[in-house]
């Protein structure tokens, strides 16, 4: 969201909006108001076209997370997130320097041997070949950071100060449509919605470079692609989200929107049974209950890093690969959030792995 995609304080970027109660006298010095494309029910997602960018919408993200294994069996978590933001600025300006569209990116490796995330971030305006996104297929980049699709295979390329990786991600089947055939509501008011699909159980191969040493890795990942123009409902401070690859081949996505008092404003889940059709669960079938907390020594933010999640009649326990998986993205999207690898247990037995994302625990997330 901004999560997944998109997750984050992207609305802190300046956007021109009309305001009620202003003088009827036109202001010839102000830029014209921008109308972002609305997310409306009934639209059918079409592939491969909807793998690509949707530049008429305000925010969009491609968000890949997963578990990797080093040759000695040691586990790592990884995150690759690219955001596309339509700023609403300079749309009538013919200059190539006008910041009409921005690309932002986050990358992270969770390494228990280090005990914290290695992470990096980038941001650039679209243009001059430095940054951009393609319509019709997944291809988004900033300089030598890329997330792209060839046929139905994805590739993530990242080179940062503390980490580098080159990963191939291969889906096990067609996209998993979240919500009503890809129309995912975030509140009772359907204006707050996104178009949203996932690719669970991606088979991962490639290399990871840490501390100057490059090693082969294998693993399994999850991809979210989501786009919206009006994401968060009024009163929401952030969200909690999970994408889980279960050992029996099934998959689960769930989230809840959280109010300022920490209570759920809205919840949803999509379950893909093994070999079966996806099932969409209503808000009252999904609850998140914190089981354990961790306080960041850098930001003083406290996160509930262990959870029990109820999905219908099932109770799933989530335990982090390590507590410190906080990502400070204030140099790009303006937010601090927790994004981490988790183990999934049911009735005391581990049944899968996935990723947990928590936003808005320090400051309220602002998303268009």
Question: What percent of the chain lies above the pLDDT cut of 90?
Answer: 76
C-alpha Rg value of the chain to the nearest Å? 20
**Tokens in use for 74?**
């040691």
Structure tokens at 368: 């268009």
Query: Residue 290 domain-assigned?
Result: yes
pTM: 0.88
Look at residue 268 and tell me whether its pLDDT is greater than 60: yes
Closest by CA position to 245, among listed 354, 340, 172, 350? 354
End-to-end C-alpha distance for the chain, whole angstroms:
11
- Predicted local confidence at residue 220, as pLDDT: 98
pLDDT at position 176 over 90:
yes
365 confidence band (pLDDT: 50, 70, 90): low
Q: What is the pLDDT of residue 275?
A: 81
Q: Which two tokens stand for residue 3?
A: 């999560």
Q: Tell me if 95 is assigned to some domain.
A: yes
Residue with tokens 């808005």: 360
**Total Cβ atoms within 10 A of residue 143:** 13
Residues 6 or more apart from 82 whose CB is under 8 A from it? 61, 62, 63, 103, 104, 105, 133, 140, 141, 142, 145, 147
For residue 239, what are the CA distances in angstroms to 4, 57, 109, 126, 212?
A: 10, 21, 22, 28, 36
pLDDT at residue 308, rounded to an integer: 98
> pLDDT for 31-74, tens place per residue?
457 889 999 999 999 999 999 999 999 999 999 999 999 999 99
Does any domain span residue 258? Answer: yes
For residue 286, being part of any structural domain is answered with yes
Q: What is the pLDDT of residues 214-261, one digit of tens each?
A: 999 999 999 999 999 988 888 888 999 999 999 999 999 999 999 988
Q: How many domains are contained in the chain? A: 1
The per-residue pLDDT for 32 is 55
For residue 283, which phi and psi values (nearest 5 degrees)? -55, -35
**pLDDT, averaged across the chain:** 88
pLDDT of residue 283: 94
> What pLDDT sits at residue 328?
85
How far is the C-alpha of 149 from the C-alpha of 139, rounded, in Å?
A: 6
Q: Mean pLDDT throughout 107-114?
A: 96
* Residue 50: strand, helix, or coil: helix
The answer, yes or no, to whether residue 14 has pLDDT greater than 50, is no
Whether 54 is covered by a domain: the verdict is: yes
Per-residue pLDDT reduced to its tens digit, 282-330? 999 999 999 999 999 999 999 999 999 999 999 999 999 999 999 887 7
Position 13 pLDDT exceeds 60 = no
Predicted local distance difference test score (pLDDT) of residue 94? 78
Higher pLDDT, 173 or 367: 173
Range with the largest mean pLDDT of 15-19, 23-27, 148-152, 203-207: 203-207
Q: What is the DSSP string of 222-286?
A: EEEEEEEEE-SPTTEEEEEEEEEEETTS-EEEEEEEEETTS-EEEEEEEEE-TTS--EEEPGGGE
Domain of 279 in residue numbering reads as 34-358
| Contact by Cβ (8 Å): 63, 327 | no
Supply the DSSP symbol for 25: S
Does residue 75 fall inside a structural domain?
yes
Mean pLDDT of 327-349: 87
Tell me the HSE value of 220 on the side-chain side, using a 13 A CA sphere: 16
Question: Is position 363 within any domain?
Answer: no
Q: What is the CATH number of the domain that holds 121?
A: 2.40.370.10
Phi-psi sector, 128: left (phi>0), alpha (psi -120 to 50), beta: left
Helices then strands (H, E): number in the chain?
0, 23
Q: pLDDT value at position 12?
A: 39
* Percent of the chain's residues with pLDDT above 70: 89
* Mean pLDDT calculated for residue range 165-184: 96
In a domain, residue 367? The reply is no
CB distance 229 to 195 below 8 Å = no
């Amino acid at each position: 969201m901004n999560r997944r995609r998109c997750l984050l304080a992207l609305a802190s970027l300046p956007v021109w909006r009309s305001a009620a109660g202003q003088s009827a006298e036109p202001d010839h010095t102000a830029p014209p108001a921008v109308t972002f494309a609305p997310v409306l029910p009934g639209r059918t997602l079409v592939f491969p076209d909807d793998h690509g960018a949707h530049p008429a919408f305000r925010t969009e993200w491609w968000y890949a997370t997963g578990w990797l294994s080093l040759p000695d069996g040691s586990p790592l978590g990884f995150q690759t997130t690219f955001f596309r933001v339509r700023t609403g600025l300079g749309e009538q300006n013919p200059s190539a320097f006008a910041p009409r569209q921005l690309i932002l990116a986050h990358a992270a490796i969770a390494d228990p041997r280090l005990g914290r995330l290695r992470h990096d971030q980038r941001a650039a305006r679209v243009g001059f070949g430095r940054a951009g996104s393609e319509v019709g297929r997944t291809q988004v980049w900033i300089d030598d950071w890329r997330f792209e699709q060839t046929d139905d295979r994805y590739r993530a390329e990242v080179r940062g100060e503390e980490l580098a990786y080159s990963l191939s991600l291969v889906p096990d089947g067609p996209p998993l449509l979240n919500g009503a055939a890809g129309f995912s509501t975030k509140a009772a008011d359907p204006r707050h919605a996104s178009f949203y699909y996932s690719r669970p159980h991606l088979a991962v191969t490639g290399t990871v470079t840490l501390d100057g040493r490059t090693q082969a890795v294998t693993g399994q990942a999850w991809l979210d692609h989501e786009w919206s123009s009006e994401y968060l409902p009024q009163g929401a401070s952030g969200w909690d989200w999970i994408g889980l690859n279960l050992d029996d081949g099934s998959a689960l996505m769930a989230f809840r929107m959280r109010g300022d008092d920490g209570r759920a404003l809205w919840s949803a889940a999509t379950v893909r049974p093994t070999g079966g059709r996806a099932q969409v669960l209503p808000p009252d079938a999904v609850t998140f209950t914190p089981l354990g907390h961790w306080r960041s020594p850098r930001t003083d933010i406290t996160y509930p890093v262990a959870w029990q999640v109820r999905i219908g009649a099932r109770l799933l326990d989530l335990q982090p690969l390590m507590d410190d998986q906080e990502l400070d993205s204030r140099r790009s999207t303006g937010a601090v959030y927790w994004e981490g690898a988790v183990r999934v247990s049911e009735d005391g037995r581990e049944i899968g792995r996935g990723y947990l994302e928590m936003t808005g625990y320090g400051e309220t997330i602002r998303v268009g």
